[in-house]
Structure 1
């Protein structure tokens, strides 16, 4: 069993043959990924309102994808409406916040308010992190009761800060997808944090899952930890009965 906690559905602004849900499923099949939690590219890059609704319709077509409802921290009225209207579908299991595209770093008042909204709805928040920003996300987790957050990319080149962040609070998870290969990165993180806080994420369909898959395999994890990373921690975090 493998659960990908950081994936996307829909076309990108590059010349890439992605977009259709069959592409997501084909990529998942290639790497043995059973279930993926996806955000709509349209919602992340362009407009959350139309993107979230397009994905709600797509999610009705397959049981192998679950959704992140994308929140733009600068459009919280729209986010509250989307949550009210789309959560009853039962297909959205978390929220996605891209701090760079929205110009709203984890330390900003806007993103703090968005994270409070996620906590109020008891939804995990996948947050784009880079460099030192996992520390700011950890501070938000410490300040906001009940908030469960995933540091997307586990800080990317700031993964050492992600280790510090994850060890400072008990409601912050890390996932490894990153567009630049760095030998030993995931192994070092896995050796330094609570094994319950590690997840598997690929950034598909933007990045081929081979990158994250190879990083995890190269870490040569003990079988119990490998199982936790592959799916068990994600099943616990998202409260997935099927896993």
Structure 2
């Protein structure tokens, strides 16, 4: 059993066929559940994307959703959180700091994450390089907040180690468009295994990339199980 905590639903802004093969790819790698954000919500408009995703989630039992919010549109964010979280189909919040031009330590993102904490769900936040340290600082300053550092800093995975050691409410997921040798093994050896998750960035990236990178890390069986599904099930309160 694998739970993918970083996935997407809906077409991208360039031609690709991966979306049509999503369930086949999940089956190939044993991904039983995924938590998805609407591509439209991330890139274009959260309100219409969240609405479309809500309709689709009602037709599937393999996926849960993230309510995507824009820190610069907090009134709309609050409305969507109140509308979609009670359905049970949405298990967290997605914030893409680059597309919204809202860095993790900016006043608007701090306010948005305080709103997320008030609703009692985790947030998946895009991180790259040293920005994972900014996210950890914001999390540390926000009581009750639990955040997932998307891509665990990508090429800044050593910053992610520092960030996770400094904030016990920060989780790491590994998806990345490159696969540097020993990146995941190095993080797993240095961070509390209870705060490691599995994510693929599907449908933007084929799950083979993250699956192979994690397999190559040769995690011990207990850690591998925590990464694969146990930590995600606990963090998002998912039935298993």
* 2:80 maps to 1:82: yes
* 2:90 pairs with one of 84, 89, 92: 92
Q: Considering only aligned residues, what root-mean-square deviation do their CA atoms show, in Å?
A: 0.9
- The alpha carbon displacement at 1:29 in A equals 1.1
- The alpha carbon displacement at 1:26 in A equals 2.0
- How many residue pairs match? The answer is 240
- The alpha carbon displacement at 1:171 in A equals 0.4
The aligned counterpart of 2:131 is 133
The two structures have a TM-score, normalised by structure 2, of: 0.98
Residues of 2 paired with 1:82 and 1:24: CA distance? Answer: 26
- The 5-angstrom pairing of residues 24-43 of structure 1 reads 24-43=22-41
The aligned counterpart of 2:67 is 69
The structure 1 segments of at least 4 consecutive aligned residues displaced by more than 6 Å after TM superposition are none
Contact conserved, 1:7 with 1:203, CA < 8 A, in 2? Answer: yes
* 2:176 maps to 1:155: no
Contact conserved, 1:4 with 1:36, CA < 8 A, in 2? Answer: yes
Residues of 1 paired with 2:124 and 2:78: CA distance? Answer: 17
Which secondary structure state, in structure 2, belongs to the residue aligned with residue 150 of structure 1? strand
Deviations along 1:173-221, one digit per CA (max 9) or x if unpaired, are: 0000000121110000000000101000000000001111011000001
The two structures have a TM-score, normalised by structure 1, of: 0.97
Contact conserved, 2:18 with 2:206, CA < 8 A, in 1? Answer: no
- The alpha carbon displacement at 1:89 in A equals 1.3
Contact conserved, 1:12 with 1:18, CA < 8 A, in 2? Answer: no
Which secondary structure state, in structure 1, belongs to the residue aligned with residue 163 of structure 2? helix
The aligned counterpart of 1:9 is 9
List alignment gaps of at least 5 residues for structure 2.
none
The aligned counterpart of 2:58 is 60
